[in-house]
Amino acid sequence: MANHKSALKRIRQSETRRKRNQHIRTQMRTVVKRCREAFDSGDADKAAQAYADAERAIRRAATKGVIPKKRADRSVGRLAKRLNAVQSA
């Protein structure tokens, strides 16, 4: 265990950030999972709404630094591709 005052503060900060990042990441994964389920159902309106929610969650996670911006772009692009497949079918 750390003894310096600054090291103790750093531990507190790290724990706070870890919890925040974990919450954002878990929330993002859940929304993306619901989006994929909506795509599989084949309902275009439901899929479009789920995609909008998923994109928002992914972009927010990237903005907060939880995931890299390029990974967010790639994930959103792949979801958009699946959305277009559902809407055209």
Q: Which fold has domain 5-88?
A: Methane Monooxygenase Hydroxylase; Chain G, domain 1 (1.20.58)
* CA-only gyration radius of the chain, Å: 18
Q: Mean pLDDT of all residues in the chain?
A: 95
For range 42-47, the mean pLDDT: 92
Mean pLDDT of 48-59: 97
What is this structure's pTM? Answer: 0.89
The domain spans of the chain are: 5-88
Spatial separation of the C-alpha atoms in residues 54 and 16, rounded to whole Å:
25
Q: Is residue 3 over pLDDT 90?
A: no
pLDDT at 1 over 80: no
Indicate the range of 1-5, 19-23, 33-37, 43-47 predicted with least confidence: 1-5
**Quick one: what percent of the chain has pLDDT higher than 70?**
100
Q: How far is CA 16 from the centre of its chain?
A: 19
DSSP 8-class letter at 2: -
Contacts of 59 (CB under 8 A, 6+ apart): 72, 76
Name the pLDDT band for 44 (thresholds 50, 70, 90).
very high
